[in-house]
Amino acid sequence: MVSHTRWGLALALPLLGAVLGLATLPGRSGASNPAPNTAPVTAASAVPQTTANPAVHEASLAPLATAAATAPRGAPSGRPRASPAATSSPAQAAVASSFVTRVGPALILKGAPWTFVGVNGPSTDYAVNGGCGAAIDYAALFASLPPDSVYRTSFGQDLAINEAHQRDWAGYDQIVNAAERSPTHIKLIISLSSQSGVCDGGHFKDAAWYAGGYRNAYSDYKDDVPREPYWQYLEEVVTRYRDSPAIAMWELVGEPEASVCDPGYVGGDCYSHKTCPANASAILRSFFDSVGSEVHRLDPNHLLSDGALGGQQCGWAGSGGLEVESSLAIDVLAYHDYYGLSGAPLPEEFATRIREAQLLDKPIVSEEVGISARNAIHCTSLSARSQEIATKLLAARRAGVAGFVLWAYAGAADPNYAGCDDYIFADDPVWNVLRTV
């Protein structure tokens, strides 16, 4: 049973029940899952290392999948293809109106510049994949978001393996189908793996992994779940969904860093017990050049985000960020902002990434924006957080940031939980910021 989920770890026991009980959104159909589209998964070799990061917010968003009819996917749909590479004029970009493209630092959708808001969240159901994720009514959630907004989530490998240890695309099919059918035309940012390996075999992605280890299979949870090499899985998932206009962009790894975990430590423990090799930036650059180019070869329809945390991670600090971001395979730069308003609305390290994006003539998006709050003693109130988020959103727009995605949707609130956290429940006033600012 695949039972290692970042959401379970991050939300902890008080919130876990809330996340698992996300059946309270309006419009919930209550339909049951159809028979899954399954296929055997190649057995994987076992290698030690695991991860879940209690200190760093990753993009390993444990996916959500609720009951809904899902159509088989995989064969090309016949939709017109368009290159996501920077085109010479907005008129040329308009040809790809159903897909997100870019012209220099501008994202283009439906032939016009596109800036977006959105929210992060999980992507599959425990009932589908055997232990990772949460049950969410995507149709209702997407219908409640502003038009042409974004839902960012993870399509990690473990989330596509069911309790029978078979490849099962039902959860991912459901979220893509829901986005395609959404009356608000939701776009997806999909991360294909987590740095820590949560819901993805548990293997912390170290310098050796980025230098070529991604072609090997890892199963650091020491369970009996068969897993494929990242390289093989990437080809499967990208090929399956490459024709969907609901996808805005892919992301190879959430918050990638080419560090080396100290001996005797695995998983999330590596975050506080690691060293950074001198050639970390070069390793990451080579990874994006090689694997990013493969994604573009498989899928000329969609853009590629670097998924960067954007601060002082190994390989990104100093001039390293610019070296990595210069990869021609990277279309969009990312930044993850967990700073409140104690200083400027946009942290200085974010301002640095914005300048780098301008220098490279590429778009930049604020992929994760989180502020800890709750209507409880010693917490920032939800209304105060909403005001801070609105200030950050306006500052990001003035700075030319193309997207602003909140961390992170967690469904219906648990009335018995009073801790401070950066999760967003269905009744949070911050939703009005996304709809009105």
Q: Which one has a higher pLDDT value, 39 or 350?
A: 350
Predicted confidence (pLDDT) at residue 124 exceeds the cutoff of 90? no
Lowest mean pLDDT among 69-78, 83-92, 100-109: 69-78
Predicted confidence (pLDDT) at residue 61 exceeds the cutoff of 50? no
The CATH number given to whatever domain includes residue 301 is: 3.20.20.80
Predicted confidence (pLDDT) at residue 153 exceeds the cutoff of 60? yes
Residue closest to 324 by CA, chosen among 365, 348, 299, 360: 360
Pairwise CA distance, residues 49 & 257, whole Å: 15
As for how many domains the chain has, the answer is 1
Mean pLDDT of the chain: 80
- pLDDT attached to residue 200: 85
- pLDDT attached to residue 265: 87
Question: pLDDT tens digits, residue range 174-230?
Answer: 999 999 999 999 999 999 999 998 888 889 999 999 999 999 999 888 788 889 999
Lowest mean pLDDT among 84-93, 112-121, 242-251, 310-319: 84-93
Question: pLDDT tens digits, residue range 319-348?
Answer: 999 999 999 999 999 999 999 887 789 999
Predicted confidence (pLDDT) at residue 78 exceeds the cutoff of 70? no
371 lies in some domain: yes
Q: Which one has a higher pLDDT value, 42 or 157?
A: 157
Residue with structure tokens 């039972």?
3
Q: Which of the given ranges, 31-45, 59-73, 186-200, has the highest pLDDT on average? A: 186-200
Query: Quick one: pLDDT band at residue 70, thresholds 50, 70, 90?
Result: very low
For residues 423-428, average pLDDT: 92
Angle 342-6-317 from CA coordinates, rounded to 5°: 50
Residue-wise DSSP of 408-429: -B--S--TT----BS-B-TT-T
Structure tokens that stand for 15 in this block? 């919130």
- pLDDT attached to residue 30: 25
Question: pLDDT tens digits, residue range 1-23?
Answer: 333 333 333 333 232 222 222 22
- pLDDT attached to residue 221: 83
- pLDDT attached to residue 88: 41
- pLDDT attached to residue 266: 85
Query: Quick one: pLDDT band at residue 162, thresholds 50, 70, 90?
Result: confident
335 lies in some domain: yes
318 lies in some domain: yes
Enumerate the β-bridge partners of residue 250: 190, 304
Query: Quick one: pLDDT band at residue 129, thresholds 50, 70, 90?
Result: low
Structure tokens that stand for 283 in this block? 């390793």
105 lies in some domain: yes
Q: Name the residue range of residue 371's domain.
A: 6-436
- pLDDT attached to residue 131: 56
301 lies in some domain: yes
- pLDDT attached to residue 136: 87
275 lies in some domain: yes
Q: What are phi and psi of 308, to 5 degrees?
A: -70, 145
For residues 242-256, average pLDDT: 98
1 lies in some domain: no
- pLDDT attached to residue 341: 80
Max Cα separation, the chain?
56
Interstrand relation of 116-120 and 106-109 (parallel, antiparallel or unpaired): unpaired
Question: pLDDT tens digits, residue range 259-318?
Answer: 999 998 888 889 999 999 999 999 999 999 999 999 999 999 999 999 999 888 999 999
- pLDDT attached to residue 1: 32
- What percentage of residues in the chain have a pLDDT greater than 90? 60
The interaxial angle of helices 170-181 and 230-241, nearest 10 deg, is 30
Predicted confidence (pLDDT) at residue 418 exceeds the cutoff of 80? no
* Amino acid in position 49: Q
DSSP 218: -
